[in-house]
Structure 1
Amino acid sequence: MNDYRFLLIQIRDADDPIREQEIACFATALDCPASSIGVFDLLNTELQSSHLINYDMVVIGGSGRYSVTSEAPWMYKALVSLQRLLDSGKPVFASCWGFQALARAAGGQVIHDLENAELGTHHVFLTDAGKQDPVFSQLPESFLAYMGHEDRVIELPPGTTLLATNSRVAQQAFRFDHRPVYCTQFHPELTLDSLHKRIEAYPEYCERIAKIPFDEFRRQCEPGPESESILRYFIKHVVG
């Protein structure tokens, strides 16, 4: 285990059944005890530089019920906080909602697109830049990743590089060129078991996206062990 301190930025309601599971998932993926992860509530609090002082790295995951495409006041406050995070120089790894939110905060474009939603395990493919990247070059050219999203990034922000893609959603992973920040549309903090538990907690996802019963969905999912290593590669090559 490493001895870094991590800040998990959450975008979840107090009654969200995945709040605690998300902490445990990141603890496993980051190879640290859960006690090494502090939690920041982005829904109700504006992020300040003082919130980052005691942490070596920041992670952002999914959101449960909140869309990056929202025009509500909380989202605009969150975007200001995320721009402040980008300017801080802290190493950041963002997945799913975090991927989309950092893209929007930095000038990219995100849309709601149920037709191209992804749920379960799907193949992603490294771009040429991904094959040369210090983190993503540790992966095979094609690997399975855990997904659950209806929104997607259709335009990356300036000053970023696309690292992974697939035929349904072109923007699957990117890095900021001059900041220690990586983002994935998929969830490298999950395992097959934690993906199943997450979908069980949000049964409406299976109904709306997969359009099949949960038991059938479960049988279709495959393990994606390569994606489960990404956060450790990030710590080694970016944080360390």
Structure 2
Amino acid sequence: MPKRLSYLLVQIRNADDPIRSQEIACFAHALQCEPTQIEPFDLLAGAPSERQLAEIDMVMIGGSGHYSVAEDADWLELALAGLRRIVEIDIPLFGSCWGFQALSRALGGRVIHDLEHAELGTHELFLTEAGRNDPIFSALGQRFQAYMGHEDRVIQLPSGVELLASSESVPQQAFRVTGKPIYCTQFHPELTVDTLLERVRAYPEYCEKIAGVPYEEFEATCVAAPETEGLLMAFQREFLGR
């Protein structure tokens, strides 16, 4: 019988953030594992140790309640250095939303705060040529739906990565690091419609700030994105074999 997989979820959330535990449950659902298989790690406290990384099979980097990759701060520089170390050791890594932005900046890309191009809810994306030829992303179809929630965006990808997907308003939506088991998405493949709406209710200020409408009107615009809900399992099968 194969051993249970172990995961490290890198989080960047305050202790009282109501989504800390929800995020663990979301990744467990997407990876079809037990929440107890996921060890959360608070990136605000430093970087994962070599011992921690040696004991797990896969790293995930999730979203962020109130922290921006576009700012300059001492904690962020330390966090980015820790992420670069994870990249160096070639462990399978999947970053979504804040993770996408943080890995981009850690590897030399540029991230800005851009409310004009912020996205919240379900949005349509399309594959690039690299995405159409990718063993994981090609299964999504040329155009697909994805769950969004961001004000910052990547405006320049780092070197050594391949752009996999874009939207009409935000060209940089997903990339893979060439030659490494590392994928990142601006969107949230760990979510479902229900958990997306749960997050929006937890951060009610974002609904009118980004979507520009009351919650009830916003909720009606959110549709299911079944293709991207299977993306993390496809990543796991590709790099962990199950």
The two structures have a TM-score, normalised by structure 1, of: 0.98
* Structure 1: unaligned runs, 5 residues or longer: none
Shift of residue 18 of structure 1? 0.2
Q: 1:49 to 1:197 in 2, by over 3 A?
A: same
Output one character per residue of 1:13-32: Cα deviation in whole Å (capped at 9) or x when no partner. Answer: 00000000000000000110
Output one character per residue of 1:63-91: Cα deviation in whole Å (capped at 9) or x when no partner. Answer: 10000012111101101101111111100
The answer as to 2:34 corresponding to 1:38 is no
| Count of aligned residue pairs for this structure pair | 240
- In the TM superposition, what are the counterparts of 1:55-74 in structure 2 within 5 Å? 55-74=56-75
- Partners of 1:151 and 1:201 in 2: CA distance: 19
Letter in 2 for 1:225: P
Percent of pairs with identical residues: 57
- In the TM superposition, what are the counterparts of 1:101-180 in structure 2 within 5 Å? 101-180=102-181
| SS of alignment partner, residue 237 of structure 2 | helix
Shift of residue 219 of structure 1? 0.7
Aligned to 1:84: 85
The answer as to 2:186 corresponding to 1:181 is no
Shift of residue 112 of structure 1? 0.6
* Structure 2: unaligned runs, 5 residues or longer: none
Letter in 1 for 2:233: R
Shift of residue 238 of structure 1? 2.0
- Partners of 2:23 and 2:3 in 1: CA distance: 19
Whether the 8 Å contact between 2:104 and 2:154 is mirrored in structure 1 is: yes
- Partners of 1:112 and 1:163 in 2: CA distance: 22
Runs (4+) of structure 1 exceeding 3 A deviation are none
Shift of residue 168 of structure 1? 0.3
Shift of residue 48 of structure 1? 2.5
Letter in 2 for 1:59: M
Shift of residue 2 of structure 1? 8.6
The two structures have a TM-score, normalised by structure 2, of: 0.97
Aligned to 2:11: 10
| SS of alignment partner, residue 175 of structure 1 | strand
| SS of alignment partner, residue 187 of structure 1 | coil
Whether the 8 Å contact between 1:92 and 1:180 is mirrored in structure 2 is: yes
Letter in 1 for 2:197: H
Shift of residue 143 of structure 1? 0.7
Aligned to 2:225: 224
Whether the 8 Å contact between 2:160 and 2:178 is mirrored in structure 1 is: yes
Q: 1:116 to 1:129 in 2, by over 3 A?
A: same
- Partners of 1:12 and 1:101 in 2: CA distance: 14
The answer as to 2:28 corresponding to 1:27 is yes
Shift of residue 47 of structure 1? 2.5
Whether the 8 Å contact between 2:46 and 2:82 is mirrored in structure 1 is: no
RMSD: 1.2
Aligned to 1:99: 100
Letter in 2 for 1:234: F
- Partners of 1:126 and 1:152 in 2: CA distance: 18
| SS of alignment partner, residue 145 of structure 2 | strand
